[in-house]
Each structure stands twice: as structure tokens, then as C-alpha cells.
């Protein structure tokens, strides 16, 4: 597994190297979850600039909301029937909310599986980790969905606006007790995380004080959620005193305001925070860690982070221009950074399902069975250490921030065997419900990725090229071809004849002759350490 590699000296100058399949695959693996062969072929024709523009365009159809899959003989949603969405019908029923929260996770898996040619889903998970909330703590499923929807709709927009929207979002108000924050009993939870986790970070140049946290809490006092599940500002609970901050914020004073104008103090607080250049640097570091690599030394800080931060500020904290420059840069395509990330559980599991084009039922016409299969994937993600919708705490998953290991934390003696067991399962038996099976179709898969599956050399190279981000030796490929595809024989005809016979006459016997060897070959590759890298 990778350790801190030597950093590239390349900067943000646009990449002008060859636009090859490995380069295209690198871009897509970092911006999508897994890569289909058809997606590689499509973007190979587009060139670098068009490819990045397409990924950042965010013009893909917006995902339909989650559906009711939970009605049973004993538990019935009195308002929402099976197959209909519940997102516009909030409930105070604890059982209904619990079932809806579970449904949301299944739905989210489906959205990632069915993502279009857009960076949207990768960024939605990025922001869900950045503004880390736990659905079980928020409790109300509609608040959880609305928070999630807010992140998705604004994932490529303006970061400053996103901070304002998250600050007064019902889900965040519940998660960090903002709705309990009053003039008489200021709650510091959100005021602290706003600075420490969401905007400034904890770098050596970030020296706001504990008193700044307390003062910010007073600024934010008064935001509430009414019985109609809407957020509003309650002037009677707002601290109307003047709020003075420390020298770190140039001794800024936010004048206390009464009545509805008290809500305007929230904007002034955010404006004050965003005057610190460290906000731009902090977010650019997080984007770099997510899309490139977790090791940021002085060279990367100078050549990448600092100029990106300047660009971020110049564009008034618009996210898209920063990502465009980063994803088109020669630094991003340096060989050092190809295959250097350990896949997160989502990248590993959802990525596997997408890159092998495993087909799920239609959630619209068959909600219950489809969500059942989605739930199996949710369980696999939890087993591998990434419960989407419920990160361990407000800091998010440790693999995205814990120095010095970062993504190496995804792999341990418990999770690695579970990863391998999942891919083996999907290759051998898959999941079946009511006659609807999801598993790898080996024959169709190799037809999708290989121009000539009859040639064992071409097939072996295609499998390694599609499934791995890094290359392996010719000797390893040759040995694997001989031992598995040729069943220990020397002649390539041993495989070619079997494949050609199946294509000419797809009987059960001919199918088994090729399918058994294909399954063994694919399982072997997916159990290699290199398969854990992206």
C-alpha cells in the first residue's frame, strides 16, 4: 500500500501530454465512482478540456427522490404509499423516521450506482464528509434528506453561499444544537465547528480564540425550527448585545441587532470569517486531498494550494473554477499520482458494481426488490467501514483527515478480507430476490472491455488494464494467463477454441468452459493488492 510518496514539482500549467486510456481512466476514477468501459471510450474522444467541462457541467438529470419501500403488514406510512416519495411529507413518528432514514441510504447507493457523466456524486460525498452529520442524531428523515439535497444541489456552486445555507439548515441546526442556541444559554457547538472544521481548519496560522467561539455562538443565537418543520429566526432568543472578536479577526465588532434584523448578524459573521485567506487554503487542501493525494508538503503547498487559493478568492469562492484548473493541470496527471489512493469503501464497492456494469432492477417499477438489493450494498459499505449518512462523528471518516495514515486506515485485517469476500460473492453467486439476481455477467463484461476476447493475450491485458490503475509485470500476466485461461496448457488455442465454441454454440457445457475460467481470472485480479488502489 502507498506511503508518503515524493511530491511532484509540476504545477497548475495545463497538461499537454497524450490523451490515452490510462490518463482518461485516472481522471474518471477520481471524479466518478468506478469507470465503465463505455465511459472511457466516450471521454477518450473528447480530449482533456472538453472532458473536464463535461464532468463539471452538472447538466445531468437530477436524481429522483427516495421512495417508500418500507410499508408492511405491521408498519404502514399513513400518508405515503409504497413506490411514492416521502420527502415532502415530514413525520413526527419515530418508527416512520427510522424506516425513512434507512431508505435514504439505500436510495443514495442507487444514485451513486446510476450516476451520469458528472462529478456531482463524488462531490456530494465530499461535502457530506466535510459537513459531517449523523442521520441517527438528526433523527428526522426529512431533515436528513433536505441537508443531503442541499449539498448535492450546491456541490459545484459558491462555497460561501453553501456555508450560509448549511448554517441555517434544519438538519445542521438539529445535529449541532443550533436550534437550542439562545441569548440566555448560548450553545457553542456549531460556532466551534464552523471555524474549526468547516471554514478555517486547525492550521498553525489559525489562531482564533475560545472567546471567539463563544462570541460567534451569540451571533448565531435565535435560529429555530417550527412545528411545520421550517427554519425561522426568533428575535426573542437572539443576543442583541454587540459582539467583539479577537485580534485574529482584527477586533471586529458585530453590532447587536434587534427584531428580524438580528438574522443579518449571521451574514456578517460569515463575511468576517471569509476575510481570512486561510479559508481558501483550507478548502483547497481538502479538495486536493480528495482528488489527488493526501500528502501535502511544502512543494505542493507552494505550487498547488497557494495559487488555487488565490484563484478561489478571485472567483469569490466559486468551486468550479478551482476544480477545473486542478483537473486540467500537469500536476494532476503526473505518474506519481496515478493509482496512489487507497479506495474508500464507496469507491471499492460502488466502483466495482459500476465498472463491471452489474444491472439492478428499476426502482420506479420495482421499488421493494430494488431497494432490497440496494440495502445489501449498504450493508457491505458498513462492513467495510463507511456507513454513508452516518460517519462516526462531526469530523467525518478518519481516513479523510487522520494524520499520517489517511486512506491507509480503510485497510486492516478486518476490512480487507471483507472487501475480497464481496467481490468474490458478486462474481460467484450475487444476490437474488424474487427471481431478480444481481451478479457479474462475465461474458458480457469481457465483451464490453475487450476488442477480441478470443485472444487470451488481448483478454488478459484488457482485464488488467480495466480493473487496475497501476500496471503489473508481463511475467505476472503471462503466468496468470497460462494457469487460469489456459488451465496450465502452453497453447493459446486452448482458450481461443473454448471461447469460439461458446460464441458459435452457447450450450451449458460451452458456457461453463469459459465462465469458470473467467470467474477465476477476475477474482484473482480483484484480490490483488493493486485492485485496492485508484
Separation between Cα atoms, residue 444 and residue 446, nearest integer Å: 6
Residue 52 lies in a domain: no
Confidence (pLDDT) at 3:
47
Confidence (pLDDT) at 165:
98
Residue 182 lies in a domain: no
- Where does residue 30 fall: left (phi above 0), alpha (psi -120 to 50 degrees), or beta otherwise? alpha
How do residues 362-419 score in pLDDT, each as one tens digit?
Answer: 999 999 999 999 999 999 999 999 999 999 999 999 999 999 999 999 999 999 999 9
Residue 520 lies in a domain: yes
User: How many C-beta atoms lie closer than 10 Å to residue 489's C-beta?
Assistant: 12
**Alpha-helix runs per DSSP H in 16-119:** 21-31, 37-44, 47-57, 94-113
Residue 180 lies in a domain: no
Checking if the pLDDT of 424 tops 90, the result is: yes
Residue 14 lies in a domain: no
Please state, for a pLDDT cut of 70, what percent of the chain lies above it: 99
Domain of 497 in residue numbering reads as 442-532
Q: How confident is the model at residue 101 (pLDDT cuts 50, 70, 90)?
A: very high
Q: Which residues are CB-contacts of 317 (< 8 A; sequence separation ≥ 6)? A: 158, 159, 160, 274, 279, 280
Checking if the pLDDT of 257 tops 80, the result is: yes
Stretch 26-30: mean pLDDT = 98
Residue 370 lies in a domain: no
Separation between Cα atoms, residue 372 and residue 94, nearest integer Å: 22
Name the E strands within 341-418: none
Confidence (pLDDT) at 235:
97
pTM: 0.96
Confidence (pLDDT) at 1:
41
Confidence (pLDDT) at 4:
54
How do residues 459-472 score in pLDDT, each as one tens digit?
Answer: 999 999 999 999 99
Stretch 252-262: mean pLDDT = 97
Determine how β-strand 253-254 pairs with β-strand 223-225: unpaired
Average pLDDT over the chain reads 96
Separation between Cα atoms, residue 101 and residue 171, nearest integer Å: 13
Residue 452 lies in a domain: yes
Cα–Cα–Cα angle for 417, 392, 225, nearest 5°? 145
Stretch 487-504: mean pLDDT = 97
Separation between Cα atoms, residue 312 and residue 319, nearest integer Å: 7
Residue 217 lies in a domain: no
Checking if the pLDDT of 439 tops 80, the result is: yes
Confidence (pLDDT) at 187:
96
For 57, counting Cβ atoms within 10 Å of its Cβ (0-12 exposed, 13-18 middle, 19+ buried), the class is middle
Phi, psi of 414 (to 5 degrees): -90, -45
How do residues 172-206 score in pLDDT, each as one tens digit?
Answer: 999 999 999 999 999 999 999 999 999 999 989 99
Checking if the pLDDT of 2 tops 90, the result is: no
- Cis bond upstream, residue 404 (ω within 30): yes
What's the number of domains the chain is made of? 1
Amino acid at each position: 500500500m502507498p506511503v508518503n510518496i515524493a511530491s511532484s514539482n509540476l504545477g497548475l500549467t495545463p497538461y499537454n501530454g497524450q490523451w490515452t486510456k490510462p490518463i482518461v481512466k485516472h481522471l474518471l476514477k477520481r471524479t466518478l465512482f468506478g469507470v465503465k468501459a463505455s465511459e472511457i471510450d466516450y471521454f477518450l474522444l473528447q480530449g482533456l478540456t472538453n472532458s473536464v467541462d463535461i464532468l463539471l457541467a452538472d447538466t445531468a438529470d437530477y436524481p429522483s427522490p427516495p421512495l417508500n419501500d418500507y410499508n408492511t403488514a405491521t408498519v404502514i406510512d399513513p400518508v405515503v404509499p409504497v413506490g411514492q416519495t416521502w420527502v415532502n411529507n415530514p413525520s413526527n413518528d419515530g418508527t416512520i423516521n427510522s424506516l425513512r432514514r434507512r431508505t435514504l441510504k439505500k436510495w443514495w447507493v442507487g444514485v451513486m450506482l446510476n450516476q451520469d457523466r458528472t462529478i456531482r456524486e463524488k462531490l456530494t460525498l465530499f461535502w457530506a464528509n466535510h459537513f459531517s452529520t449523523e442521520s441517527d442524531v438528526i433523527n428526522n428523515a426529512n431533515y436528513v434528506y433536505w441537508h443531503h439535497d442541499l449539498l448535492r444541489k450546491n456541490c459545484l456552486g459558491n462555497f460561501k453561499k453553501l456555508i450560509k445555507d448549511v448554517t441555517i439548515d434544519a438538519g445542521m441546526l438539529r445535529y449541532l444544537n443550533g436550534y437550542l442556541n439562545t441569548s440566555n444559554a448560548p450553545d457553542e457547538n456549531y460556532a466551534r465547528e464552523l471555524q474549526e472544521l468547516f471554514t478555517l481548519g486547525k492550521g498553525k496560522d489559525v489562531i482564533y480564540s475560545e472567546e471567539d467561539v463563544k462570541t460567534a455562538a451569540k451571533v448565531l443565537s435565535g435560529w429555530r425550527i417550527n412545528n411545520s418543520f421550517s427554519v425561522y429566526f426568533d428575535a426573542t432568543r437572539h443576543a442583541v448585545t454587540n459582539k467583539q472578536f479577537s485580534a485574529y479577526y482584527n477586533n471586529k465588532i458585530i453590532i447587536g441587532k434587534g427584531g428580524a434584523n438580528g438574522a443579518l448578524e449571521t451574514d456578517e459573521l460569515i463575511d468576517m470569517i471569509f476575510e481570512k485567506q486561510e479559508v481558501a487554503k483550507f478548502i483547497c487542501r481538502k479538495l486536493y486531498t480528495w482528488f489527488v493525494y493526501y500528502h501535502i508538503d511544502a512543494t505542493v503547498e507552494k505550487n498547488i494550494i497557494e495559487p488555487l487559493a488565490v484563484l478561489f478568492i478571485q472567483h469569490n469562492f466559486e468551486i468550479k473554477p478551482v476544480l477545473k484548473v486542478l483537473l486540467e493541470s500537469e500536476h494532476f496527471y503526473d505518474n506519481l499520482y496515478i493509482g496512489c489512493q487507497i479506495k474508500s469503501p464507496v469507491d471499492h464497492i460502488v466502483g466495482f458494481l459500476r465498472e463491471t456494469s452489474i444491472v439492478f432492477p428499476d426502482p420506479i417499477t420495482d421499488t421493494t426488490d430494488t431497494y432490497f438489493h440496494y440495502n445489501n450494498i449498504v450493508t457491505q459499505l458498513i462492513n467495510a467501514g463507511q456507513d454513508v449518512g452516518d460517519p462516526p462523528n462531526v469530523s467525518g471518516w478518519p481516513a479523510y483527515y487522520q494524520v499520517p495514515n489517511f486512506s491507509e486506515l480503510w485497510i486492516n485485517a478486518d476490512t480487507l478480507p471483507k472487501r475480497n469476500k464481496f467481490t468474490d460473492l458478486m462474481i460467484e453467486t450475487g444476490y437474488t430476490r424474487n427471481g431478480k439476481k444481481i451478479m457479474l455477467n462475465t461474458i458480457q463484461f469481457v465483451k464490453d472491455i475487450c476488442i477480441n476476447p478470443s485472444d487470451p493475450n488481448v483478454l488478459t491485458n484488457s482485464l488488467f488494464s480495466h480493473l487496475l490503475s497501476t500496471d503489473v509485470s508481463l511475467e505476472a500476466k503471462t503466468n496468470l494467463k497460462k494457469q487460469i485461461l489456459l488451465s496450465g496448457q502452453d497453447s493459446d488455442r486452448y482458450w481461443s477454441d473454448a471461447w469460439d465454441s461458446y460464441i458459435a454454440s452457447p450450450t451449458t457445457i460451452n458456457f461453463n468452459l469459459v465462465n469458470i475460467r473467467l470467474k477465476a481470472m477476475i477474482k484473482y485480479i480483484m484480490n490483488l493488492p493493486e485492485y485496492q488502489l485508484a
